[in-house]
Structure 1
């Protein structure tokens, strides 16, 4: 059985992930020659070629691909072992693999990451802002922040906050709607539909003991909350937006809340975890920061 340096697993996985020696060297903070030497030694120790190198690209051989998949498991287990030990002291270690929706990520998660890295300078964060809901296990994610209503009731999730929904438009468009005092008068208005929602134009309004459901008529269908936000700022029409996205704009007069005496259904902000026997310290520390920010935002 060949004797292989554990550190070379890290070099190899990073090279495959980054697609080049240069990018891997930058990621690891070492010289390109060091990465090349470590990979050559690894192939020598294993007695097989792991990478195919050309002037334009680098890719794993068939043996290299199989070895890569095994290395990922070994490195993840090693990281979990470190986390399990560090959890006893509460000290985060390693890299936090995180995903969040684009709109909430830009407004809330990015500032939370800044606090996290300042508090734990030895940590790194691999961050994806997207409205795509990744499988946490397949994508080796530590944590997914999901906003709205969880579809999978079996998910291991923790509710860390809530958000309200506001019907908003630009001041110029609001000037045309001064007589709007009931949801039903809005059905013929110009609506911006958020295509990421199941029912982007059907809304339930509540006021005191009354509830009204209306269906708007879209002039624009956007592909997500961020795109809807840009459209409503441009004065295209009405849109229902989460409070974390538009609170500053309403306060600054860039947007106007329509029918403020009527409320729309509120939603949840959840930390969703992969199946695990324990929560790594790096995950718990970040969720604690995010939950504290949500408490402050709602106070």
Structure 2
């Protein structure tokens, strides 16, 4: 009907009817465009509002972290300091200790675990690796010579009781499939890794310590890497979470900073 009326009006010289239709059509188009723009603006505003709300959620509350004494002190404290500076309204509680904390009890948001994970219902993400070195103090290293791992068995050894098996060590070299297993004899046993380092540095004997803890000591010459051509098992560094469908944004932000 609309199309026929236009043709009739045009044929009869009724230009005003045609112009009136064009004006109405143009007004309708503008109105539709305005409505579309308004809808987009509303969606954009809501998205911005949601992002602001998420940012606010990320920067508030308390983030509870558990880590071992050695890795927590040497690697996690700087990350915690940076996180606190970026999210000043989020309080951080860092609990250090070599005992394994039960995350399922709900007391911690995230744990940093070093070594080999036991099977559990927890969610884990590997964020790094580490090597283990047989080391001793520089002065102590002058008291003996060793060409093979078996030569170390009778030497004074500081056992790290925080480990599952602190005395039996498996060495490997190159393509040697069998390697060498050596059982050390503990003259001192300590249950905290930083204290083991202190004892070794004081000349108490040999011990096996992670690279991230002794790197500076080796570079400064205070410790000596014994049998560097032989390797001990390397391990992983993991971020571990309680099993949950959704992870709090503050935890996600912290893990992202760990990976930076």
Q: TM class, shorter-chain normalised?
A: 0.7 to 0.9
Check if 1:167 corresponds to 2:125: no
Structure 1 residues 26-41: aligned runs within 5 Å: none
Task: Give the match for residue 200 of structure 2.
Answer: 232
Task: Give the match for residue 123 of structure 1.
Answer: 90
Check if 1:96 corresponds to 2:83: no
Query: How far apart are 1:95 and its partner, in Å?
Result: 1.1
Classify the secondary structure of the residue corresponding to 2:105: coil
Task: Indicate how the Cα distance of structure 1 residues 94 and 176 shifts in structure 2: closer, same or farther if over 3 A, else same.
Answer: same
Distance across 2 between alignment mates of 1:124 and 1:175: 48
Distance across 2 between alignment mates of 1:84 and 1:100: 31
Distance across 1 between alignment mates of 2:106 and 2:246: 19
Task: Give the match for residue 266 of structure 1.
Answer: 234
* Counterpart contact for 1:92–1:285, Cα < 8 Å: no
Distance across 2 between alignment mates of 1:87 and 1:163: 35
Higher RCO (Cα < 8 Å, 6 or more apart):
2
Aligned residue among 142, 145, 150 for 1:184: 150
Classify the secondary structure of the residue corresponding to 1:137: helix
Query: How far apart are 1:185 and its partner, in Å?
Result: 0.6
Greater gyration radius? 2
Which deviates further from its counterpart, 238-247 or 224-233?
Answer: 224-233
Distance across 2 between alignment mates of 1:87 and 1:266: 39
Query: How far apart are 1:119 and its partner, in Å?
Result: 1.5
Distance across 2 between alignment mates of 1:172 and 1:202: 25
Instruction: String of CA shifts for 1:215-266, please: whole Å, max 9, x gaps.
Output: 0111101112122111111110000000111000000111111111111101
Task: Indicate how the Cα distance of structure 1 residues 175 and 106 shifts in structure 2: closer, same or farther if over 3 A, else same.
Answer: same
Query: How far apart are 1:137 and its partner, in Å?
Result: 3.2
Distance across 2 between alignment mates of 1:186 and 1:247: 22
Which consecutive residues of structure 2, in runs of 5 or more, have no partner in the other structure?
1-49
Check if 1:107 corresponds to 2:80: no
Classify the secondary structure of the residue corresponding to 2:111: strand
Task: Give the match for residue 118 of structure 2.
Answer: 151
Query: How far apart are 1:285 and its partner, in Å?
Result: 1.2
Instruction: String of CA shifts for 1:65-113, please: whole Å, max 9, x gaps.
Output: xxxxxxxxxxxxxxxxxx9995589944321011111111111111110
Distance across 1 between alignment mates of 2:85 and 2:250: 13
Question: CA RMSD, aligned part only?
Answer: 2.0
Instruction: String of CA shifts for 1:160-195, please: whole Å, max 9, x gaps.
Output: 111100110000111112x31210111111111111
TM-score, length-scaled by structure 2: 0.76
Classify the secondary structure of the residue corresponding to 2:170: strand
Distance across 2 between alignment mates of 1:245 and 1:281: 30
Distance across 1 between alignment mates of 2:204 and 2:117: 30
* Counterpart contact for 1:92–1:280, Cα < 8 Å: no
Classify the secondary structure of the residue corresponding to 1:207: coil
Aligned residue among 209, 221, 231 for 1:253: 221
Task: Give the match for residue 53 of structure 1.
Answer: none
* Counterpart contact for 2:64–2:109, Cα < 8 Å: yes
* Counterpart contact for 2:59–2:88, Cα < 8 Å: no
